[in-house]
Amino acid sequence: MQTWAATRDAVAPLLVKYGQVEDGMDGARYPFWALVRDELWTIEQVQDLTLTSRGRRPTLESLNEVNPLGGLREDDYNLLRSHPDAAASAAAGLILRYFHPLLAGLLEDFGLHELLAGRWPDALRPVLGETFKDRDAIWRVYGGQKMAGIGCLADGILSVFSDDKGPYADGRIPDTSWIAYVGDGLSGDQKLTDGNELMAEHQTAGSPLRYWHKPYQGQFSFETWAVIVQRRLRWGVGEDKLPRREFLWVLAPVPSPERETWPAEVLEALDADTGELHDDTGDYRPSDLALGAPSVEESDQDAYRRLAQKAEANAERRRGMKKPTLADKYIRDPSARAAVIKRCRGRCESPQCAGHPTELTTAGLPILQVDHVKDLAKEGHDVPWNMIALCPNCHALKTYGENKEKLRRLLTVTARRLHEAMLD
């Protein structure tokens, strides 16, 4: 237990230096009393203190006069004393939430230097790679919210959970390690509330979050730290099977929450991001993806022409960008994809296809994969004449098959031919 005067004199300069507080002596009352009210601290002689007119906290005069003893509850104090790991983890979590990016000198000023000695992110729990059977198991160890896809563990640090419902549901953006993460909300247009609101706050602040991933039939693991570098709006299908607008949060993995460790391409993308919403839903219609009822007003050829034009215009705009980020280069244009889905009419477009399953994925989408004949990573264009719809088998042949080069040449010609035929 420490006297109020000792607490005040230690905290006041920190409030001035790190809390933008002008009068540190007076300001020290606020955290002091908040700790008492939250029952993290106990104090003696509460009954002798005079409260402010609204009764929210003691007056400075009465605190100075009574000078009560205050401190952590005894069991908490003993825990932190005897378990430096627990103390380090708690301190690191608070740093990440409230003092990120970490200011030089702060650990020394707070007397945490020895405890965290230049490696505060290592003290954070859970650590990278921790794996759990399911969400319930995570919740039993780390608390916090239990079910939503976006939420905080008990330490107040944001986590997003990605659960692959099928073998192809992984949100990785091809050719990158970046992740396209669908926002919170099961049915109806997604709104900037709840988890999505937390994501927007993290996007604005450039704050890191934890990305948890559960592969198909696998377990949930804390796969990577990540930052949000872009927010898009796309068409998707809600749990009610109806088309709806979905947020697509573009997450860039980072090695640790410490900004100094973030790759240059991530920092560039953070700099380039103004926080604006990139709304793609005007470029195509839900009916273009066969989400819901097919369109009756428009022929497939007309729809194809409309979508292909939009894709060409978008590709042109991206080529004109002075400093395109990885997101600009590798995020697929949904209108280009929709055009190919129209063109293929639910069939694999490889002339050598030996037949494919007509089933849909669990998400209600065709099992066909729309692939770039020449990869975007090799300067291929994100437009329908460079794209082809393949069944999983043909896709595997194109990706891993011993004759993949020969097949790729055939598909190059095929995609152009099918494209021309639609425009003809």
- In the complex, the residues that contact Zn ion under the rule CB under 5 A are 348, 350, 353, 356, 391, 394
Contacts of residue 291, Cβ cutoff 8 Å, sequence gap at least 6: 235, 236, 237, 243, 364
C-alpha pair distances (Å), 407 with each of 49, 352, 402? 83, 9, 10
Question: What DSSP string describes 53-102?
Answer: TTSSSB-HHHHHHH--EEEE-HHHHHHHHH-HHHHHHHHHHHHHHHS-SP
CA dist., res. 173 & res. 351, Å (int)? 27
Q: How far is the CB of 355 from Zn ion (least distance, A)?
A: 7
Nearer to Zn ion, 156 or 346 (CB): 346
- By the 10 Å C-beta count (0-12 exposed, 13-18 middle, 19+ buried), 124 is classed as buried
**252 bridge partner residues:** 227
Q: How far is the CB of 350 from Zn ion (least distance, A)?
A: 5
Q: How far is the CB of 390 from Zn ion (least distance, A)?
A: 6
Nearer to Zn ion, 280 or 371 (CB): 371
Nearer to Zn ion, 190 or 350 (CB): 350
Q: How far is the CB of 342 from Zn ion (least distance, A)?
A: 18
Nearer to Zn ion, 157 or 391 (CB): 391
C-alpha pair distances (Å), 166 with each of 66, 104, 162, 363? 65, 46, 12, 8
**284 bridge partner residues:** none
CA dist., res. 209 & res. 227, Å (int)? 6
Nearer to Zn ion, 244 or 343 (CB): 343
Q: How far is the CB of 234 from Zn ion (least distance, A)?
A: 26
Contacts of residue 89, Cβ cutoff 8 Å, sequence gap at least 6: 123, 124, 125, 155
Q: How far is the CB of 371 from Zn ion (least distance, A)?
A: 11
Nearer to Zn ion, 223 or 349 (CB): 349
